[in-house]
Amino acid sequence: MAKPAIRETDLYLPVKRMLDGQGYVVKGEIGAVDVVAVREGDEPVIVELKAGFSLSLFHQAIQRQAISDAVYIAVPRQTGRASQKALVASQTLCRRLGLGLITVRLSDGFVEIHCDPAPYRPRQSKPRKTRLLREFARLVGDPNNGGSTRRNLMTAYRQEALVCLRVLSELGPTKASMVASQTRIAHARRLMADNHYGWFERLGGGIYALGPKGMQAATDYAAEIETLSASRAQDHAPVEASAP
């Protein structure tokens, strides 16, 4: 037998009882608003009821902020990993939008307030900003189209690996210190030792060469290597002194 669909009206009585317990007078369907709760001396509380999270729910709630600062959205509390993930993401979005979030467990009418409406005060992560700007500075040129999927993106790390690959392709087995000198990549030894892409082989005595995958990569990435080499050569070209 199919499980009956959740209706917005299923949420009303549990939410009403919760607000009644806080001293509010609660009424449903006032104008375009699902729930309005009034208590003397306070902002009216507005609650939008929905059977699940949706973009239209957030749109409606934002519109209600033109009436009151105390706007909540209320949805059924679901079980399962995906539902919990959606709840956490929606709570973050509510905080950013200055909305409150309520869930109702329909099995017993338990109501939980996950966050109250409040002005959003973003806290920036300095480590994340540092990593972002470091990657920006290391990346040569603009090799990726914005909006592309993460798969096969050209990162600064991949560019550095390609530069090392080019040197080994041209010189054959080479000491890591020489690769670092030729490429101006101070951590070339560690990069080749980590061998993230499987391109390099350590022959002993600090000497590295290309493995079969590296030889294939030299062909597959020939165009990228040529463009990258030209860009790096331009970046490191000596600057002529101006005439006195």
Nearest-angstrom CA–CA distance, 35 and 45: 8
pLDDT tens, 58-95?
Answer: 999 999 999 999 999 999 998 888 889 999 999 999 99
| Two tokens, residue 53 | 């999270």
Domains of the chain: 9-115 (3.40.50.10670), 155-234 (1.10.10.10)
pLDDT of residue 234: 67
**189 within 8 A of 167, measured Cβ to Cβ:** no
Average pLDDT of the residues in 12-31? 92
Q: Whole-model pTM above 0.85? A: no
Find the helix or strand (DSSP H, E) in which 110 lies.
strand 110-115
Nearest-angstrom CA–CA distance, 217 and 59: 49
Whether the per-residue pLDDT at 176 is higher than 80: the answer is yes
The DSSP output letter for 14 is: H
| Two tokens, residue 203 | 């022959």
Find the helix or strand (DSSP H, E) in which 94 lies.
helix 81-97
| Two tokens, residue 132 | 């972002």
Find the helix or strand (DSSP H, E) in which 75 lies.
strand 70-76
Band (pLDDT 50/70/90 cuts) for residue 151 is low
Find the helix or strand (DSSP H, E) in which 58 lies.
helix 55-64
